[in-house]
Structure 1
Amino acid sequence: MPAPKDARAYIIWPPNGAVIEGGKLWVRMGLQNYGVAPAGVRRDNTGHHHLIIDRDLPPLDEPIPNDRNHLHFGGGQTEARLELPPGQHTLQTLLGDADHVPHDPPVTSNRITITVR
């Protein structure tokens, strides 16, 4: 599904470089010039968030995998409680359409790095 060129996803929290004590954290995801709709809902200029943890973006022309490194928020959620093991982790959001396929052009956040102690 096509996406407006000015659509933008971003991670509200945590900020890039954050140090998280204990590994439990909320991730808050934002979206600009685009709407959120649950998986299965086909409406122009909408999609739902996927959080990519410690992986590069998946292929952008097929459904986003659903595993511990590719979390789906098909209910339209914009925040999630995570628990990550100690170490350095990367987080990036990728919007998917009603069928979990990235838009064209893809609507994705910057990739951030956090440290869990």
Structure 2
Amino acid sequence: MNIINSTQRFSLGFIFAASMVAGAHGATPAPEGAAVYFVTPSDGQTVSTPVTVRFGLDGLGVAPAGVEREGTGHHHLLVDLDDLPALDQPIPADDHHVHFGGGQTQTTLDLAPGEHTLQLLMGDYQHMPHEPPVMSEKITITVE
């Protein structure tokens, strides 16, 4: 499965290296009521590839990875995962844990036909999930 676009590929090496350094860092507090959600697609929706995914966010600002600013974070898209990543470690960077360290709020995915799950998880400037974690519900889409 190849779901990472060329812009994301360029930054994955940097993100992974920064994530390794972040391991000793404690969790950044999440603002009360912070929430992340999908604008599109909707749970249960049937779509065609490429799939445009738009992220929504309430109560938390967006800042690029590496920029430490209170009340902010950046998006991570979890694709086809059965279990959440460890919430006390930096979020991994691979085809199933897609980082948006540039502060992006949408992406286009090339997904194979079939059923897929998507979930959003916010990370702080060092890719650590906030405390408590700011994550969306897991949605299921079908690609025709």
Give the TM-score of the pair, scaled to structure 2. 0.79
> CA offset at residue 5 of structure 1?
2.5
Gap runs ≥5 in structure 2: 1-27
More strand by share: 1
Alpha-carbon separation, structure 1, partners of 2:30 and 2:44: 29
Task: Identify which of 55, 75, 85 aligns with 1:49.
Answer: 75
Task: Identify which of 75, 87, 91 aligns with 1:60.
Answer: 87
> CA offset at residue 57 of structure 1?
1.5
How many pairs are equivalent? 116
Give the TM-score of the pair, scaled to structure 1. 0.97
SS at match of 2:89: coil
Within the alignment, does 1:109 sit opposite 2:133 as a pair? no
The letter for the 2-side match of 1:27 is V
Q: Paired residue for 1:11?
A: 38
- Per-residue displacement from partner, 1:21-40 (whole Å, max 9, x unpaired)? 2x211100011011000000
More helix by share: 2
Q: Paired residue for 1:35?
A: 61
Q: CA RMSD in A?
A: 0.7
SS at match of 2:52: strand
Alpha-carbon separation, structure 2, partners of 1:98 and 1:38: 7
Q: Percent identity?
A: 57
